[in-house]
Structure formats: C-alpha cells, structure tokens
Structure 1
Amino acid sequence: MTIPASIRQQTCKDCLSGKDLGFEITMAFQPIIDWKKKEICGYEALVRGTEGQGAGWVFDRINHENRYYFDQACRVKAIETAARLGVDSQLHINFLPNAVYSPETCIRATIEAADLYGFDLTKLVFEVTELEEIVSKSHLQRIFSSYAARGFQTAIDDYGAGFTSHSWLVELRPHILKLDRGMITDLDQSAQMQQEIKKVMQQCELQGTRVLAEGIETQAELETLVRLGVRFMQGYYFAKPGFESLPQVNF
C-alpha cells in the first residue's frame, strides 16, 4: 500500500492537533459484559457526529483524501473521551486497516494520545470490522502482529457478516472474535446457527481466542449463548451506547 509522502507527513503531524475534517466527531460508548463475573470488562467506542448523528452519517463523509487522518482522529478522540469519562477497563477502538500504511508509524498518535490523557495502553483493543473489504490479508496480518508485539489486543468484529472465513480466523489469530448480530438474532430458534457457533468456539478455544457475542437484544438469546458457553457479551439487552457517556447496565 503506497501513500504519498506528503499525506503521510501531514497525517502524522495533524493527528493530535485537531485538523479540520470538514466536520467534527465524538464518541458513544457501549459496555462489554463478562457474564460469568456479572461485570463490565470493557467499552466499545463508536464514532458519532457531535449532534448525535450515527456512524452512517459519519462514514458518508469519509473518502480517500481524509480516510488516513479520520482513522487516526477516531483513535485519539476515543482515548481522550474515555479518559475524561474515567474508563478503567478495556477500550475497544475500531480501525480501518486500509488506512494504515505502516503499523509502526500509524500507531504513534495513539501512543501519544494515551500518554497525553493518561490512559493505560495495555487496555487498548483494536477491532477490524468484516464489513470493510480488506485489500491485503498479509497487510492485515502485519498490523495484527505489530500491535500484538506492542502489547495491544486485536479483534475481528462482525464475524459471519463479511469478508473473513475460517482460514482468516486461523491465520490472523485475533485475541477476540466478535460474533456478528446476524448470528445472534433469534439464535434460540435456530439449531443450525447454534451448531455454527459451537464450531467457531471450538476453533477459538484451540487457538486461545476469546469469543464475544454482540447484538444481544432478548433474554432468550442471552440464555442460549450462556448455554453454548459464551462468556463475553454486548448488546441493547444490557445497554444502548451512551453518547459521550457510560450508560447504566442491565444485568
């Protein structure tokens, strides 16, 4: 992946300076639950417009010209806001792998932001969504390896909804695998999907990857996941994302 030097230099310089994207962003936070301990073990930072506009509104404004800075700006804003709100658990941050031209270089603003706002770097989890088409698997592997070497955790988000397959799970070996809500909705009524989740969990257990189910909305879905052995969960059943806030959780 080749990015012009002028863009690389400008991006790194502007990540912490608040360069104007043409619009402003902020974050909402959704709790991640450790059901076994009945406690919050993390929060996912979700990009929003400053007036509460959803992620779709934000991504409609992202293009090739601002993608690199936007990816970095989201990391900085997530860390800044989480630190201000007193988050002391894991912080899940989504990133755009196609916007990372060099893992070693593009992580600098993240480290600087954590140092500036006093956030523990070891609590950062970087999620790549299946919904973004990955240009190069080897590039993503390099990102995951580089982040792991620095002590960060990695996650595949929306598993079952996008580009990845069983082979990607095996080769990328993320710390966390997030089951897409499409696999969770009405799970209690689908024996076939329950078997599919069992297979995924078996592979994850073999390679030491934690399984996290997202998109949980009903008691029946929760009970089915518990029966299948899923420990980590996220969804409206527990709490909707809090706009620039940490919402109360229903256990």
Structure 2
Amino acid sequence: MSCDGCSPASALDLDVSMAFQPIYDAVDERVWGYEALVRGVGGEGAAEVLAQVRPDQRYRFDQDCRVTAIELASRLFPDPEQLKLSINFMPNAVYEPSACLRATLRAADRHGFPLTSIMFEFTEDEQVADTEHLTGIIAEYRKRGFTTAIDDFGAGHAGLSLLVDFQPDLIKIDMLVIRGVDTDPARQAVVAGVVHMADALGITVLAEGIETEAEYLTLRGAGIRLFQGYWFARPAFEALPPPQNPR
C-alpha cells in the first residue's frame, strides 16, 4: 500500500540517538522494559533535538527514532524476548499505518528483534483531531503484535475520551498527577479512580515520574504494578541503567 505522506523529500539534517530508562515491575521485582528517549548523537537533550525538527520533517524524524531505538536495543538488551522496548511515536506523523510501519518492520527483522517486545506509546499531550485515524493506527499496531500505550495520561487534550474510543494495552499516569501523591488525598482519589477504571477495561497502569520512596509505596499500595522515574534510575545515554531502589 502506498502512502502519499511517507515521502523522503524532507530529509532530516540531524542525527539522533537514544537514552534508556528502566520500567520496573514491582510484583515480579525485575526490570519489565526500557523506554527509549531521543537524544542527539552527543547526548543533547530531547528539547534541543525536537527544536531542530521542522513540521515537514516530522514523518522522517519519527521513522528515524524508531529505527535507531530498535538498533540500539538489539545491541544492549541481554534478552529481547524478556524485555519491552518502549518507543514514542507521533500520531500526526503517521499517514497510512501499514505503510508507515515498513521501516520499523525492516529494522526489527534486520536485527532479529521480536515485534512482541516493542511497545509504541503516544502522548495524550499531542492533540489528535482525527480519532478514527488514531484508532486505525492502534488496530494496525496490535495486528502486528505490538503493545500500545497512552503516555502522560491525565495531562493532555483528550482525557477520558481516548479510553471511550479505544482501549490501549497500557496507560502511563502523568507525573503531574502523582507528584506528592503520598500527602495529597485528592491525587490519591484520582489515582484510585484510574486504577479501578483500568482494571475494568483490562488495561495495565504504569506510574511515571516517581521521585521518592513515599510516592512509590503509596502507588504500590494503590495497586499499581509498573513504575518509572528518577527514584529508580535516570535515563542513560546509549546504555541500560539498572534500577537503584527496587523493593
């Protein structure tokens, strides 16, 4: 299938690399996977990299990030069958879902990286006008065996309407919702509601941005299994940092 938007005409004039941050499974007490976070080849931060990407380069940037993440993970992961590689993608940079996956599939095949070990997450903070198109993307990704996730849940444009339109495999509660959750009854109530709703829909919950043991213990007590944040490990450039405070 062809894709009119998938043109290489707007080539990137920058190279990208990745940093990796662990996602910790508190039930199995092990690293569940790693999120790939875009960096410059010299370790420059995501904001500096993204500032150099023009609107007409979004598709190529999205594709290059996917391929780079898979290439690095294939070298770094001790056992790709046992870990998830979480890759961020831009829904507005995906034109025809099947065609836009070609580079991803080629990279996974070239490096022997299992498709079932790849999780694609899109941020709720990126406004998607065509929810039918987004639903089509998710359906195609699931058909290929990918895990799907909503990032920054609770801090973006769509809110609960995303879960009404479709149900991803996983939602990541935004750090602004859980910051200070150990001392804030309102945040605790919101988290409890999200966990209850996710359980009813068969969706796994991940709490991101954990910075203190108190936050972790409160969220663990609320029934959350997966965690990510500086309290466990900061992202490491082209490396896999082990979690520092597993419990």
Q: Does TM-score exceed 0.5, indicating one fold? A: yes
Residue 40 (structure 1) aligned to one of 25, 28, 31: 31
Corresponding residue SS for 2:224: coil
Corresponding residue SS for 2:71: helix
2:155 and 2:129 mapped to 1: Cα distance?
17
Residue 176 (structure 2) aligned to one of 182, 186, 190: 182
Is the contact between residue 115 and residue 144 of structure 2 (CA under 8 Å) also seen in structure 1? no
**2:26 maps to amino acid:** W
**2:6 maps to amino acid:** R
Counterpart residue number, 1:170: 164
Counterpart residue number, 1:218: 212
Matched, 1:86 2:77: yes
TM-score of the pair, normalised by structure 2: 0.93
Is the contact between residue 21 and residue 240 of structure 2 (CA under 8 Å) also seen in structure 1? yes
- The superposition leaves residues 83-103 of structure 1 with CA deviations (integer Å, 9 ceiling, x where unpaired) of 011252100000000000000
Counterpart residue number, 1:23: 14
| Corresponding residue pairs, total | 240
Q: Which has the higher contact order (CA 8 A, sep 6+)?
A: 2
1:81 and 1:130 mapped to 2: Cα distance?
26
Counterpart residue number, 1:242: 236
- The superposition leaves residues 200-239 of structure 1 with CA deviations (integer Å, 9 ceiling, x where unpaired) of 1111111110000000000100110011011100000000
Identity among equivalent pairs (%): 46
Counterpart residue number, 1:77: 68
Superposed displacement of residue 149, structure 1? 1.5
Superposed displacement of residue 125, structure 1? 0.5
1:236 and 1:8 mapped to 2: Cα distance?
36
Corresponding residue SS for 1:173: coil
**1:10 maps to amino acid:** P
Counterpart residue number, 2:138: 144
Residue 134 (structure 1) aligned to one of 94, 118, 128: 128
Matched, 1:206 2:237: no
Counterpart residue number, 1:62: 53
Matched, 1:96 2:96: no
| Aligned-residue RMSD, C-alpha | 1.4
Q: Which runs of 5+ in 2 are unaligned?
A: none
Counterpart residue number, 1:14: none
* Worse-matched range after superposition: 144-153 or 95-104: 144-153
1:180 and 1:82 mapped to 2: Cα distance?
25
2:169 and 2:139 mapped to 1: Cα distance?
11
Counterpart residue number, 1:49: 40
Counterpart residue number, 2:186: 192
Q: Which runs of 5+ in 1 are unaligned?
A: 12-18
- Structure 1 segments, 4+ long, off by >3 Å, are none
Matched, 1:118 2:112: yes
**2:23 maps to amino acid:** I
Superposed displacement of residue 20, structure 1? 5.6
Matched, 1:228 2:216: no
Superposed displacement of residue 8, structure 1? 2.4
Superposed displacement of residue 249, structure 1? 1.3
1:65 and 1:95 mapped to 2: Cα distance?
16
Corresponding residue SS for 2:6: helix
Superposed displacement of residue 145, structure 1? 1.0
Corresponding residue SS for 2:206: strand
Superposed displacement of residue 188, structure 1? 0.5
2:49 and 2:192 mapped to 1: Cα distance?
35
